[in-house]
Amino acid sequence: MHDIAEPARYTPTPDETLTDDLFANARAHGPETGYSRRVGDRWVRVTHTQLADQVTDVAAGLMAWGLEPGDRVAIMAGTSFEWMVCDYAIWTAGGVTVPIYETSSAEQVAWILHDSGAVGAFVANADAAATVASVSADATDLRALWSFDGSDLDELAASGRDIDRSEVEARRTSRTSDALATIIYTSGTTGRPKGCAITHANLLCQVHNVAAAKNVTELVFNDRSTTLLFIPVAHILARSIQLTAVHSRVHLAHGSDAKKAAALFADFRPSVILAVPYIFEKIYNTAKHKAAAEGKGWIFTQAEATARDYSESIDRGGPGLLLRLRHELFDRLVYGKLRTALGGQVDYIVSGGAPLGARLGHFFRGIGINPLEGYGLTETCAGVTLNLPGQQRIGTVGRPLPGCSVRIADDGEVLLKGGVVFQGYWHNEEATREAFDDDGWFRTGDLGALDADGYLTVTGRKKDLIVTAGGKNVAPAVLEDRLRAHWLVSQCLVVGDRRPYVAAMLTIDSDVLPQWLAEHGHHEDTAVERIHESPELLAELQKAVDDANKAVSNAEAIKRFVVLPTDFTVDEGLLTPTLKVKRAVVTQRYAAEIDSLYARPRTGSPV
């Protein structure tokens, strides 16, 4: 076994809670702008005092309604200013927040409401309200529903006018750091979601130790920084960044539609962008596609190679004269335009939820945007490791943050300890026991390695490891990352467990398909379903497969692939809300297609 620990620089006192930062900001910096709220097509600035007042009013309304300390209240909505207000209001009134993804199925909503025993729920709109209403028979503890879309929040706040604000403050300060703050249900790939019971202390350790890490406050999260959240706040990563923003007085804004993220970046101009790797892949592919469409594909190819060379040289003592000159040229021709498309002010991107990979990491650092890739899970309140500013090692997920310990078990599994590790699974003692080893280390289910300097590399999920019929172990993430680098590929899944060889299923990015169709003499509106078996398309995607295979041995290489007629989506239940492929669900859904990859003799790579 190999392990490493970073001493904690903060330990919560018994009387601290997550609401302290918000109200401290209001007292010390009340008139200053802390937030921006999207109203129509414009941003409306919100001061620290205004947010604290709104939180207090909604908390008073909850108390007047009958919320008792420890009661659970669900929030089923996309990322928004209202989400943040209600989260803090629930805590201020002594409650426990239960996030539910807006895209959750009725079955998932029913289970979460039932298992958590939620007594009330905030929802985004009438559609979400209808979903909750449809499962009311299962949600036996649910007594109230409030919608963001309408006057419900105003009416709830108004109902608490007779509650003296000293009573609200007394309720807020009666909570302790070991009190339950939130139950977050893991999106999971199979079975019912498990509720992660997370205390105020768990999240306080996350927020304060991140802020205490070297160069984080000085360079990334401070009162000069701006960030725009658009990935779901129901996810622990966005939630922890929101808490960190409040703690460090980062100017914070929200946007719920990832498809509009680029326009919002250009409008809001954040200095820090938080996203999952899929979003950064889309940014990269969109830029590459746009350059090709304008007849500048060769320029982008050279610029891309230079960016990666430049970034890699930083780890070897710095670039030489010729590389610096090439980099300066492409900074004028390409990199500056890419930074402008993201608002022109972005210095850092924070990536989590899945590995970013060395390819994208070097590209973004090479164009002047530093990637801070980290690692963690819902059970660990997000970040346990992080590549810190000035100490980045691209391709790894960094060293342990203060207060965190990482161990690599004999079988390669990553084990974790620290104040950020959750209390266990809600109402599930058996799963909780299975989640920890005999020494109290949390079993992540991920495979990884620590280098001599304590940097962690995660190679994939333990349960996703493919063992071919010939006994070869294959980590699919390496191949899948390279496949997604091709501009036509949207999603992919590498298969081959207990099969004679490795194969893959690919889906097409419908946003860029029209360009390929036009270049090959097809109507631009031709549907994927009509073209996915085209020899021309298969030949194009063979290039992606060939490139991916360069990263592995011949025994691990993809021997055949199939292009699916439709993409994987959240709505179809094939992606998690953070856009990770649900491997088990996809494998079951496309069992026939997988069988076809092995049904005939191999006379070529495509089916």
Q: What is the pLDDT of residues 186-238, one digit of tens each?
A: 865 456 889 999 999 999 999 999 999 989 999 899 999 999 998 899 999 99
Q: What is the pLDDT of residue 508?
A: 95
Q: What is the pLDDT of residue 189?
A: 47
**What is the Cα–Cα distance from 297 to 515, expressed in whole angstroms?**
13
**What is the Cα–Cα distance from 280 to 365, expressed in whole angstroms?**
12
Residues contacting 439, CB < 8 A, separation 6+ = none
Fold of 465-599: GMP Synthetase; Chain A, domain 3 (3.30.300)
The pair of three-digit structure tokens given for residue 538, joined into one six-digit string: 């298969």
| Superfamily of domain 205-418+439-462 in the CATH hierarchy | ANL, N-terminal domain (3.40.50.12780)
C-alpha angle 147/149/155, rounded to 5°? 60
**What is the Cα–Cα distance from 601 to 142, expressed in whole angstroms?**
57
Look at residues 66, 509, 452, 512 and name the one whose alpha carbon lies nearest to residue 287.
512
The highest-level CATH class for domain 18-175 is: alpha beta
Residues of the chain with CATH 3.30.300.30: 465-599
Average pLDDT (93-121) is 96
Which of the pair, 493 or 260, is modelled with greater confidence?
A: 493
Average pLDDT (342-361) is 89
Say yes or no to pLDDT of 466 above 70: yes
Average pLDDT (246-251) is 98
Q: Give me the phi and psi of 425, to 5 degrees please.
A: -90, 130
Q: What is the pLDDT of residue 604?
A: 44
Does the pTM exceed 0.85?
yes
Inter-residue contact 69 to 63 (CB < 8 Å): no
Say yes or no to pLDDT of 568 above 90: yes
Residues of the chain with CATH 3.40.50.12780: 18-175, 205-418+439-462
Buried b or exposed e, range 409-437, using 16+ CB within 10 angstroms = beeebbbbbbbbbbebbbebeeebeebee
pLDDT in tens, 274-304: 988 888 888 888 888 889 888 899 999 999 9
Per-residue DSSP letter, 382: E
Buried b or exposed e, range 500-527, using 16+ CB within 10 angstroms = ebbbbbbbbbeebbebbbeeeebeeebe
Average pLDDT (419-447) is 96
Say yes or no to pLDDT of 424 above 70: yes
Mean pLDDT of the chain, nearest integer: 93
Per-residue DSSP letter, 606: B
Per-residue DSSP letter, 136: T
Q: What is the pLDDT of residue 229?
A: 93
Average pLDDT (106-121) is 96
